[in-house]
Structure 1
Amino acid sequence: MKKVKYRQSTSRLLLLGVAFFFSFTVIGIAQDQADASAQDGDAAQQEQSEGGQSEGSGAGAALGDASNGKSLFNSLCAACHKPYSESIGPALNGVTSRQDLEWIYKWVHNNANLRASGDQDAIAIFEEYNETQMPAFPQLSEDDINDILAYVEQPKPEPAAAQTPAGGAGQGTSGGGVSLNIILGILVFVLVMLLAVLFLVNKTLRNFASASGVVLPEKPKRKPIYKSFVENQFLIVVSSVVVLLAVGYFAYGWMMQVGVDQGYQPIQPIHYSHRIHAGDNEIECKYCHSSARVSKVSGIPSLNVCMNCHKAISEVAPETATEEYSKEFYDGEIAKLYDAVGWDPASRTYSGDVKPVKWERLHNLPDFAYFNHSQHVTVAGVQCQKCHGPIEEMEVVYQYAPLTMGWCVNCHRETEVRMEGNDYYEKIHAQLAKKYGVEEITAAEMGSIECGKCHY
């Protein structure tokens, strides 16, 4: 009987092409519907937010200009007052319902004179808040005070509801209200059915070919790959050399990373945002790490350094919050600080119940390596960012530099020593400049890469 070649690849490819075309079509439609639904939701939320803002801006409009009042409040009042909660002084929201405007004008212009006149309300407020003397503001006009009142009398903004990403947590829906999970489930079912159909068609055609006497070609047997490899001596030698070199390379790289913690980012017991403190508020690094100027180590700031500011700051500004860290999160971290130092923000007194904060150390040099912060910060004038990176942009601090010996040596080779106004180096600089035939001397040429400088 004549042998007939059997070909089934064409039918398989055709069915697979139909299946993949159908799958990508369904995914594309579902994604378009999901995107449209997300855009509609974002637009509705934006309209709702804008409506809430416009409604809030109307509150207190009869008093004055709330935008100008916000600027005056932040520059003159925010150190002791908050609109919606007590601080050093009382919360200012609702003050116009408690006192008339004429009384408020007198209190702001000179509250001491108002108390001296025997006004019982003024005396009661003074005694209630630990007899804290409020500064007089005679420079504020009545219109300025009205602007401040317009700002503080606005309704307290509601916290923004958490947004759920489209398709997240199994709740994503398409524009028609059909869950994306259901669509994907149907798609998987269809693909499984197509595979089953292909298997049955293949089996049926093979049975039909056997019944018709068609002999299917047999696949030629190939020599196993490992036998071909073993029989080729040159290939064995080359492969062995490549494997040994690769193992040595990766083993050396792994061993050189022992003790290198670049990128280390531990979670601290109290979340401290360098982005807010050093970035937004531009607090100098050495205000908190004051020992870096005069000591070998920069030191961990004591909590009373934090309380220098946070006696009056018990919450963060709303614009400080991010998508990852909300205002409520930051306020909760300030509450942890108060709990650790035993501070009661309501009575503004210390309870004496102090709890230690177990900070996680971030930068840790080996004991055999000597490093002096004051020598670099005070004498050399090295900026903190040189070693610690853009610290003012870090929400959670991480180790920016590798802090390896090679990294330090390269810095010493590239850094020029400042000679201006330094009588100590004047003679040394003249001798070294003559020796090396240069005008600028690097730290390495001053002997800073000698072993005994850091290891002794």
Structure 2
Amino acid sequence: MKKVPYRHPISKILGITVLFFLLLSTSIFAQEEASSEGGSEQTEAAAATGGDPAAGKALFNQNCAACHSLTRKMTGPALANVESRLAEDEGLDREWLYSWIKNSPGLIASGDAYANKIYNEYNQAAMTPFPTLSNEDIDNILAYTAAPPPAPAATATATDAAAGGQGSGDGSGISNELVLGALVLVFGLLVVMLLLVNRTLRRIAEANGVVLEKELSEKRKPLWKAFADNQFLVLVTVVILLLGSAYFVYGWMMQVGVDQGYQPVQPIHYSHRIHAGDNKIECKYCHSSARVSKTSGIPSLNVCMNCHKSIYQVSDETLAEGKAEYGVDYNKEIQKLYAAVGWDEENQRYTGETQPVEWVRIHNLPDFAYFNHSQHVSVAGIECQQCHGPVEEMEVMYQYAPLTMGWCVNCHRETNVKIEGNEYYEKIHAELSKKYGVEQLTAAQMGGLECGKCHY
């Protein structure tokens, strides 16, 4: 019997696979070791400052983050290593920081030279005093400002830079591209192995005289000719095709002008999920004209700056989530906002050099259809989500409802009119309730189906 050489290439493939996984596991171990070393550095910094950086971070975010950043100037100066800088440059100790944080106006009034220097440098606005913070709380805050950034964040930043700004993988620091590349390589090796096994089995079969394929000795009648000769089958097929075509043509024509699901890309990415969902910002805070106007209005960028004048970047967790799940760098979008309103982040002032933002409209009714937001929001008390869907869950805003005439009519037929506290409807409701013999009137029974209400 002929000997088939199949062991040698397969053993090579298996050896390469084992070697690859050994290298991958070694890389993972090295990254975990670097992460643990970074954690030990942060612990050493905490011991040197005599405070807890973790507790200090929570206190910093609660009391200081509105006006201060660790790395850049905001309403107040940057606070990274503030204690060591003051000791080296001004000769001030921690006791001075205790006095300044707890009662900055009092320290300024006492004539302290550096306190007055800071007061004059920052538009003669004294820092808000925090008398409720204990010395231990301040020690924790100073430990946080002195602590180096944790290693995982630095690793993620380096990975993002190497990947051209794309989102990194999970918290272990291994990028999604590395894991995906490893899986592709493994599947490729498996395919090669299967091909080699298939070729080897064919050689064995041929050596033993086994016939793998057999040509047909006679030609059969083509399928299309058999179909054409059956007149009944042809007739049934034609009828089915005509009915199916009519159904799809009707469905297509009924969708003309219906933009349900329309989700355009905006010039500045705005996450309703973060603002309306995570931060619980009311819809009408931004779309304030919905209470009193026909339209909901496009919010002015000054409304955005009410918050983003101090919020110049998002948390590391939110930034990583945005890159990984949505491919968005939220910090870059905030910079687009600053460029549009002409905000000089470094000097904390407006430059006057603004840029228009060309927002893309999403919801658009035909010109012959009248809709008044204030009538529905203020008078009827309808929630925004009833028409616009779960906005608080949308990363990118899209048209949730079809906004067709039938959709509006059904809503008028099913929605009861709210008359509590509305004297305008009391008399009308009393008269029409007798007419229809009901206790609750729908919008349709109040005239909501009259053509002139929406088509004037």
In the other structure, the counterpart of 1:364 is 364
Paired residues, what number? 421
Task: Please tell me whether the aligned partners of residues 260 and 401 of structure 2 are also in contact (alpha carbons under 8 angstroms).
Answer: yes
Contact 1:87 1:312 in 2 (8 A): yes
Partner of 1:85: 72
The equivalent of 2:162 in structure 1 is none
Partner of 1:245: 243
Which amino acid counterpart does residue 186 of structure 1 have in structure 2? Answer: V
Q: What CA distance in whole angstroms lies between the structure 2 residues aligned with 1:92 and 1:364?
A: 48
Give the Cα separation in 1 of the matches to 2:282 and 2:20. Answer: 47
1:306 aligned residue: 304
Contact 1:341 1:355 in 2 (8 A): yes
Distance in 1 separating the partners of 2:103 and 2:235: 95
The within-5 A match list for 1:340-419 is 340-419=340-419
| Residues 39-81 of structure 1 deviation map (CA, whole Å, 9 limit, x = unaligned) | 8876775665465346435533443233333333222212111
Find the residue that maps to 2:176 and give its secondary structure: coil
- In the TM superposition, what whole-angstrom CA distance separates every residue of 1:62-112 from its partner, at most 9, and x where no partner exists? 432333333332222121112232211011121110241011011112222
What does residue range 32-181 of structure 1 map to in structure 2 within 5 Å?
48-49=34-35, 52-53=38-39, 55-61=41-47, 62-97=49-84, 98=86, 99-157=92-150, 158-159=153-154, 160=156, 161=159, 162-163=168-169, 164-165=175-176, 171-172=181-182, 179-180=185-186
Q: Which moved more, 1:422-431 or 1:98-107?
A: 422-431
In structure 2, relative to structure 1, the CA distance for the partners of 1:27 and 1:299 (3 Å cut) is farther
Moved more, 85-94 or 51-60: 51-60
1:12 corresponds in structure 2 to none
| Preserved CA contact (<8 Å) 1:417 1:442 | yes
2:210, 2:404 → 1: CA distance?
A: 69
Alpha-carbon offset, residue 38 of structure 1: 7.5
Contact 1:342 1:350 in 2 (8 A): yes
Q: In terms of Rg, which structure is larger?
A: 1
Q: Which amino acid aligns with 1:444?
A: A
Paired AA for residue 182 in structure 2? G
> Separation in 2 of the partners of 1:165 and 1:290?
42
Per the alignment, residue 196 of structure 2 pairs with 190
Is the Cα contact below 8 Å between 1:167 and 1:180 reproduced in 2?
no
The answer as to whether partners of 1:261 and 1:402 remain within 8 angstroms in 2 is yes
Secondary structure at 1:218's aligned position in 2?
coil
1:282 to 280, 283, 304: 280
2:331 alignment counterpart: 331
- How many Å separate the matches in 2 of 1:332 and 1:380? 40
Q: With the length of structure 1 as denominator, give the TM-score of the two structures.
A: 0.80
Matched, 1:218 2:217: yes
> Which sections of structure 2, spanning at least 5 residues, go unmatched?
1-5, 87-91, 160-167, 170-174
In 1, distance between residues paired with 2:328 and 2:225? 68
C-alpha offsets along residues 99-153 of structure 1, whole Å, 9 cap, x if unaligned?
4101101111222222233322212222222323211222222222112222222
- Structure 2 residue corresponding to 1:235, chosen from 233, 236, 241: 233
Residues in 1 aligned to 2:66 and 2:369: alpha-carbon distance in whole angstroms: 45
Q: Which residue of 1 aligns with 2:424?
A: 424
- Greater shift, 112-121 or 353-362, is seen at 112-121
Q: Which amino acid aligns with 2:265?
A: I
CA distance in 2, matches of 1:42, 1:426: 72
Moved more, 191-200 or 251-260: 191-200
Give distance in 2, aligned partners of 1:40 and 1:423: 76
Q: Residues 188 and 286 (structure 1 numbering): CA distance in 2 closer, same or farther, change over 3 Å?
A: same
Pairwise CA distance, 1:261:
1.6
Q: 1:236 to 1:206 in 2, by over 3 A?
A: closer
d(CA) in 2 for partners of 1:440 and 1:321?
49
Percent identity over paired residues: 55
Closer, same or farther: CA 315–428 of 1 in aligned 2, 3 Å? same
Say whether the 8 Å CA contact 1:342–1:352 is kept in structure 2: yes
Q: For 2:321, what is the secondary structure of its paired residue?
A: coil
Q: Encode CA deviations 1:410-455: one digit per residue, 9 max, x unaligned.
A: 2222211112122211122223222332222211222212222212
Cα contact 2:46–2:143 (8 A) shared by 1: yes
1:86 alignment partner, SS class: coil
Query: Does the CA contact (< 8 Å) of 2:286 and 2:303 recur in 1?
Result: yes
Structure 1 residues 124 and 445, CA gap change in structure 2 (3 angstroms): same
Amino acid at match of 1:266: P
Paired letter, 1:88: T
Change in Cα spacing, 1:300 to 1:232, as seen in structure 2 (3 Å) is: same
C-alpha contact 2:322 2:330 (8 A) present in aligned 1:
no
Q: How far did residue 373 of structure 1 move?
A: 0.9
d(CA) in 2 for partners of 1:29 and 1:253?
58
Q: What letter corresponds to residue 308 of structure 1 in structure 2?
A: N
Evaluate the alpha carbon distance shift between residue 198 and residue 228 of structure 1 in structure 2; reply closer, same or farther with a 3 A threshold.
Answer: farther
**Alignment CA distance shift 1:406-1:34 (3 Å):** farther
Q: Which amino acid aligns with 2:192?
A: I
Contact 1:108–1:137, Cα closer than 8 Å, also in 2: yes
- 2 CA distance for matches of 1:434 and 1:41? 80
Conserved? CA contact 1:275–1:394, under 8 Å: yes
Distance 1:280 1:374 in 2: 26
User: Does structure 2 retain, via aligned residues, the 8 Å contact 1:60–1:149?
Assistant: no
Q: Which amino acid aligns with 1:109?
A: K
The answer to whether the Cα contact below 8 Å between 2:322 and 2:328 also exists between their aligned partners in 1 is no
Q: Distance in 1 between matches of 2:205 and 2:95?
A: 91
Q: What secondary structure is seen at the aligned counterpart in 2 of 1:138? A: coil
